[in-house]
Amino acid sequence: MGRTIIYDKKPTEEKKQDVLFERADDDLDFEIASDTADAMSVAETAFIEFVSKQVTKMDQKLLFDGNSSPPLQLIDKALMQHEHVMLALTALYEQSRWKLNAAKEAYKEWEAVKYLEVRMEVNKKEDTVAKWYKKEEIDRMVIVKYRKDNARMMAQIALADSKCSLFRRLIDSWNQYAFQLGQLSRNAIAEKNSSFCELTGLYWAWQNGIFKNNQYVGLVHYRRYFTKRSQRYSDYTSMDEVVLSRGDLDNLLSQNDVLVPKKRRYYIETLYSHYAHTLDGSHLDVARDVIKQLSPEYLTAFNKVMKQRSGYMFNMFIMKKDLANQYFSWLFPILDKMYEQIDVSQLTPFEARLFGRVSELLFNVWLKHKNIKPKEIPFMYMEKVDLFEKVKSFLMAKFFGKKYEQSF
């Protein structure tokens, strides 16, 4: 009698191949539904739909309703949302990958146990080696005999693998979404460079991971630097001897959260009146209205700062990155809203730089509201300053209404 490779006490040869590859659909009514029902929770399904919808908008270039120059405030909000979504996607991916590995290991253990059981049943000790079934044959016997359990476990593996692949694809797509947001962010701030001045660089650093990799962040200018002592610039000035070193900064920052340049004092002018006399006071009026709308809790500080006769100027500072994050999260929505309300197209290039100038005063507002007492540091102009022309222009603006037409 010829050997058979089906698990049957008295099988026929004709039945051999049929049973070997049989899937017996009428018997495969196993309850995979209970496993697949948990494949995606309602929350996961809604989350995936949201991500997919955003990715589709990105692919169709319909982010922000197709606006190629959306307000910075909307881009910032989308970037913050992106980070939260990425964390959730990564967590779901890691979870699905763990379930996939667990399902594969469970199947291996189950298969090994069933293999031993079937081999012991079909390969009797009293049989000759010639009659023993090969491993491949026993593997097939296991599948046939335990087709219901085998199909259930394979379905679990396929399900886990499908979820793992899905979240991996979503992560890749979401990274592209972040790239497009970053492009919009860079384009949006680059277009405002002539009005936002040095804030353009600060915004770019803030939105491109510079803050994440550094404990402290700050800004100095091409012509102004923090120095070890008060000193006027000359052609013989050695920057290495005057400008603060890394060691100097480490020492100062170990004792202070915020470093700023020494206050500029106007004596016969308030910050508001000086701005109004030299530039255009309506800019500050717009700033006040926007603050009232977006962060009314800052109004008291704003009013007090406008009456001060001194302040920290030039948008120069060094501070802990957490504080810088707080400051920029407050500042840029205000400037962005102002940008929507002030038409810069009719201004000269010098006048259009108003947002950089307004931000100098808003920095003082933020410090006062937060009750932060910064450490004042000497600074130096890295070029010769015509003090006579500077004082003359200051007095001409105050007493004769002659606006500034250039920087000094």
Same domain, yes or no: 142 and 263: no
Which of 129, 162, 191 delimits the end of a domain? 191
3-state DSSP call for residue 354?
A: helix
What lies within 8 Å, CB to CB, of 118 at 6+ separation is 7, 138, 141, 142, 145
105: containing domain: 13-191
Domain tally, the chain: 2
Residues 46 and 143 in one domain: yes
- Is 406 part of any domain? no
Among 173, 191, 209, the domain boundary falls at 191
Verify that 57 and 166 share a domain, yes or no: yes
The closest alpha carbon to 232, from 382, 43, 97, 368, belongs to 382
Per-residue pLDDT of the chain (408 residues; tens, 9 = 90+): 333 333 333 344 333 333 332 333 333 333 333 344 355 778 888 888 888 888 887 777 667 777 767 778 788 778 778 888 889 999 999 999 999 999 999 999 999 999 999 988 888 776 665 678 888 999 999 999 999 999 999 999 999 999 999 999 999 888 887 777 877 777 778 888 889 999 998 988 888 777 888 899 999 988 899 999 988 888 888 888 899 999 999 999 999 999 999 999 999 999 999 999 999 999 999 999 999 999 999 999 999 999 999 999 999 999 999 999 999 999 998 998 999 899 998 999 999 999 999 999 999 999 999 999 999 999 998 877 777 788 888 888 888 888 888 886
Same domain, 389 and 255: yes
90 and 118 fall within a common domain: yes
Is residue 323 a part of any domain in this protein?
yes
Residues 221 and 84 in one domain: no
Same domain, 260 and 372: yes
- Distance linking the first and last C-alpha atoms of the chain: 109
Backbone φ and ψ for 377, nearest 5 degrees, come out as -125, 140
Within this chain, do residues 236 and 160 fall inside the same structural domain, yes or no? no
Residue 316 lies in a domain: yes
Q: Is residue 142 part of a domain?
A: yes
Pair 111, 221 in one domain: no
